[in-house]
Amino acid sequence: MKLDTGPTIVDVEAARERLDGIARVTPVYPSETFSLLAGRDVYLKAENLQRTGAFKIRGAYNRISTMTGAERAAGVVAASAGNHGQAVAWAARETEVSARVYMPQDSPMAKVDATRTYGAEVELVGEFFDDALAAAREEAEATGATFIHAFEDERVIAGQGTCGLELAEQVPEVKTVIIPVGGGGLAAGCAIALHAANPLIRIVGVQAAACAPFAGATEHGFTIAEGIAVKRPGRLTSAILAEHLEAVVTVTDEEISATLLLLLERAKLVVEGAGAAGLAALLAGKVAGEGSVAVLLSGGNIDPSLLITVMRHGLTYAGRYLVVRTRLPDRPGELIKLLQLVASERVNIVSVEHHREGMAISVTETEVELTLGTRDDAHCGVLLTRMRDWGYEIERIR
């Protein structure tokens, strides 16, 4: 259904009534750790603890619950990078409506499996969200099913806005709110609610640098924040955000990865790439202003295999792993000598690899690659200096 107008605060408040007892009122956690890192009071709105693991249940249920009997009988179709699909599947099951969800081929299996578990049929199509979107629209036109757009729908936007209503009540003193932006449904709905409560509040959107159309990017690449990897902004959401957002900033996958690790380690919160984007922007110094700030952790549906990769990368990025390469005389005792010296610096030796064949080294030498567990970047620097002082030629791999 194409709409010419956006939702109002009245629509958001009506959505809140429909969602009463359906969507969780997710907690807001003040964080001493992140407040110290950011130099201002930081509050985390944990939508990763929402039903289906993300904010999307709010918009999906608000949309499907207002369908007519004839529309329900024809079923629903959706396109999703993962979270919207799960939400549509769950809401359709709760309202006894059949659902089919189209998702990009490389969608995290955790999201694909969850969508199927909630009762929807899942079709994997194309590389990007827009490919799945085109396939879903074709399905809706061919079958008469109702297409549930992830963000370009005023009832979906109104549903997402209930998160903003909660936040305005939970931390009324907050000066800035940071919201991840993909298609813009969450940011649009929350902006309507937040500015109705406080017109002076600053709202900042965050996109992944690899796919940031709201920030003016025209190139689109892979990002671990696949939940906000949308090539083209919505017409309706763009109009709303143009009125309400103070700025849109971008974050790199490295910044997101490091933030995922910090949230897991310090706050004991598991979030996906998109969910960490807002906090990543704050910690990277990309959000201007003073005073308290609330960050929306929009979702927690990260694939376990990706989480392992991100943790390793994040640990390396934070200086917790050091990989070095050096050469040793190929004779007994040389390796153990090196390892004992390294261990004396309170370094954990994770792995040791010998390279003899296929290397441009002397016949009397062997190349050794060490993966070491370190405390931080400063510790890495001290160790590299020590190893060179001991007479080793060191090449840092990462």
Q: What is the pLDDT of residues 262-301, one digit of tens each?
A: 999 999 999 999 999 999 999 999 999 999 999 999 999 9
Residues 307 and 182 in one domain: yes
- Does residue 84 form part of some domain? yes
- Predicted confidence at residue 1, as pLDDT, reads 38
- Does residue 3 form part of some domain? no
Adjacency order of strands within the sheet including 293-297? 28-31, 42-46, 293-297, 176-180, 202-208, 247-251
- Predicted confidence at residue 73, as pLDDT, reads 96
- Predicted confidence at residue 349, as pLDDT, reads 92
Residues 93 and 209 in one domain: no
Residues 207 and 356 in one domain: no
* Of residues 253, 252, 280, 270, the one with CA closest to residue 178: 280
| pLDDT, greater one: 310 or 145 | 145
Contacts 24+ apart (CB under 8 A), 352-359: 356/330
Range 156-171 average pLDDT: 98
| pLDDT above 60 for 36 | yes
Residues 199 and 268 in one domain: yes
3-state secondary structure of 237: helix
* Of residues 332, 315, 327, 331, the one with CA closest to residue 372: 315
Residues 106 and 221 in one domain: no
Residues 107 and 236 in one domain: no
Residues 170 and 223 in one domain: yes
- Predicted confidence at residue 193, as pLDDT, reads 98
* Of residues 28, 8, 16, the one with CA closest to residue 267: 28
Residues 133 and 234 in one domain: no
Kindly list the catalytic residues: 56, 298
How confident is residue 360, by pLDDT bands cut at 50, 70 and 90? low
Task: Using the 3D structure, point to which of 282, 314, 346 is the last residue of a domain.
Answer: 314
Residues 175 and 266 in one domain: yes
- Does residue 1 form part of some domain? no
Report the domain count for the chain. Answer: 3
| pLDDT, greater one: 83 or 17 | 17
How confident is residue 7, by pLDDT bands cut at 50, 70 and 90? very high
Range 239-248 average pLDDT: 96
Residues 230 and 260 in one domain: yes
Range 215-241 average pLDDT: 85
Task: Using the 3D structure, point to which of 281, 314, 347 is the last residue of a domain.
Answer: 314
**Are β-strands 321-329 and 395-396 bridged in parallel, bridged antiparallel, or unpaired?**
antiparallel
| pLDDT, greater one: 229 or 236 | 236
Task: Using the 3D structure, point to which of 101, 125, 148 is the last residue of a domain.
Answer: 148
Q: Which domain holds residue 352?
A: 319-396
- Predicted confidence at residue 357, as pLDDT, reads 65
52: left (phi over 0), alpha (psi -120 to 50) or beta: left
Range 169-187 average pLDDT: 96
Q: What is the mean pLDDT of the chain?
A: 92
Residues 72 and 137 in one domain: yes
How confident is residue 214, by pLDDT bands cut at 50, 70 and 90? confident
- Predicted confidence at residue 128, as pLDDT, reads 79
| pLDDT above 70 for 75 | yes
Distance CA 107, CA 125 (A): 10
CATH number of the domain bearing residue 123: 3.40.50.1100
- Does residue 208 form part of some domain? yes
